[in-house]
């Protein structure tokens, strides 16, 4: 019962070389033992890269025709449980995932690739990774950390900027995350690596690519339903997709569905920060991984 959530801002610490907070490590042993099924689908992202958007797309693609009540009665965080998260007595993503009644089970993780429970690899599960350009990802994560009590304190924007570059945020370095998953794609064909910017540019095209990866051929009617259901404004007003039912978030500080745009970093970065980011970026990003910070 999320109403019972009595959560406190967590501290960050080093966990197997990755900056983490206890809400995402407290259930570590159980999560590592997660038993995946071959038809499970894992949605993996660095936080704020478009997880909820892609989760809603998949939920509609798989269940929009067969089980439409689901989208109007069950919040997205229960339809697509966040495996890593444990809030004792309130929310265990691993238990929710175990008990999902649907086939396939749609499961969310923010783990860097080396933290994924081995069963997903053994079962050769399909995995969808969504990446977002670092500048916008940082801005979105900053606003999220200001309003979400299970996240560490955001602090000032300028300190946040430094911590992003140093990888000192929950789930560690954005660079390590996007690079690590990109590298995995070279050896694990069942991984579909997609970009938030592409989804913004042409949602229909990206859904087509997803469907071909998943082996789905939705009817024209279902495709229309998905396209309209996942528009930013529709998700923002949809209580079952916008996280408004979770009391750990304070929408008076910042709503979950905040802007949904590419290049909002231009409203936050100083010129000096932009130059510092670009310099640092060149030394850290895998040069074969191409992001767009404007479209």
Q: How far apart are CA 134 and CA 164, in angstroms?
A: 9
Q: Minimum Å distance from CB 234 to ligand A3P?
A: 8
Q: For the chain, what percentages of helix, strand and coil (3-state, to nearest 5) are there?
A: 45, 10, 40
User: Binder to ligand A3P among 168, 183, 185, 258 (CB under 6 A)?
Assistant: 258
Interface pick for ligand A3P out of 232, 251, 281, 291 (rule CB under 6 A): 232
Distances (CA, A) of 20 to 11, 47, 213: 8, 12, 32
Q: Tell me whether residue 110 is one of the annotated catalytic residues.
A: yes
Strand, coil or helix: what is 195?
strand
Beta-bridged to residue 41, according to DSSP, are: 106, 126
Of these residues, 16, 110, 143, 192, which one is catalytic?
110
Which of 143, 163, 184, 223 contacts ligand A3P by CB under 6 A? Answer: 143
Q: Binding string to ligand A3P for residues 20 to 39, with x set by CB under 6 A, is what?
A: --------------------
Q: Which residues in the chain belong to E strands, given as ranges?
A: 13-15, 18-20, 41-45, 86-87, 91-92, 106-109, 126-131, 191-195
Minimum CB–partner distance for residue 47 and ligand A3P (Å): 6
Decide: helix, strand or coil at residue 279. Answer: helix
- Is it true that the peptide bond before 104 is cis, omega within 30 degrees of 0? yes
Instruction: Name which of residues 264 to 283 contact ligand A3P (CB under 6 A).
Output: 264
Alpha carbons 43 and 64: distance in angstroms, whole number: 18
User: Does 52 sit near ligand A3P (CB under 6 A)?
Assistant: yes
What burial class does residue 137 get, using C-beta atoms within 10 Å of its C-beta: 0-12 exposed, 13-18 middle, 19+ buried?
Answer: buried
Dig out the tokens for 288 from the structure. 């074969």
| Of positions 7, 41, 44, 49, contacts ligand A3P by CB under 6 A | 49
Closest residue to ligand A3P: CB criterion: 260
Among 53, 62, 160, 277, binds ligand A3P (CB under 6 A): 53
**Binding to ligand A3P by residue 260, rule CB under 6 A?**
yes
Judged by CB under 6 A, the residue of 85, 230, 240, 249 near ligand A3P is 230
- Residue 13 bridge partners (DSSP): 20
Instruction: Report in angstroms how near the CB of residue 171 gets to ligand A3P at its nearest.
Output: 11
Residue 167 makes contact with ligand A3P by CB under 6 A: no
Q: Residues interacting with ligand A3P, by CB under 6 A?
A: 45, 47-53, 136, 140, 143, 230, 232, 235, 257-260, 264
Annotated catalytic residues are 110
């Amino acid at each position: 019962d999320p109403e019972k959530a009595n959560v406190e801002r967590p501290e960050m610490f080093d966990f197997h070389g990755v900056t983490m907070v206890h809400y995402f490590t407290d259930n570590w042993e159980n999560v590592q033992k997660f038993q995946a099924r071959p038809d499970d689908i894992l949605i993996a992202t660095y936080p704020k890269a478009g997880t909820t958007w892609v989760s809603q797309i998949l939920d509609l693609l798989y269940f929009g025709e067969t089980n439409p009540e689901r989208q109007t009665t069950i919040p997205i965080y229960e339809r697509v449980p966040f495996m890593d998260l444990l809030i004792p007595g309130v929310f265990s993503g691993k238990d929710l995932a175990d008990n999902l009644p649907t086939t396939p089970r749609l499961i969310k993780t923010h783990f860097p690739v080396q933290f994924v429970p081995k069963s997903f690899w053994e079962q050769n599960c399909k995995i969808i990774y969504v990446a977002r350009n670092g500048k916008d990802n940082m801005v979105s994560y900053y606003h999220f950390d200001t309003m979400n009590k299970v996240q560490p304190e955001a602090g000032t924007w300028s300190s946040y900027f430094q911590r992003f570059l140093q990888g000192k945020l929950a789930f560690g370095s954005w660079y390590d995350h996007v690079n690590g998953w990109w590298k995995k794609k070279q050896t694990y064909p069942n991984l579909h690596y997609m970009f938030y910017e592409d989804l913004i540019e042409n949602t229909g095209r990206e859904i087509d690519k997803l469907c071909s990866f998943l082996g789905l051929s939705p009817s024209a009617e279902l495709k229309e339903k998905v396209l309209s259901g996942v528009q930013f404004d529709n998700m923002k007003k949809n209580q079952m997709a916008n996280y408004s039912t979770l009391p750990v978030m304070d929408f008076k500080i910042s709503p979950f569905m905040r802007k949904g745009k590419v290049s909002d970093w231009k409203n936050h970065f100083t010129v000096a920060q932009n130059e510092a980011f670009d310099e640092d970026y060149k030394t850290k990003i895998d040069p074969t991984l191409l992001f767009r910070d404007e479209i």
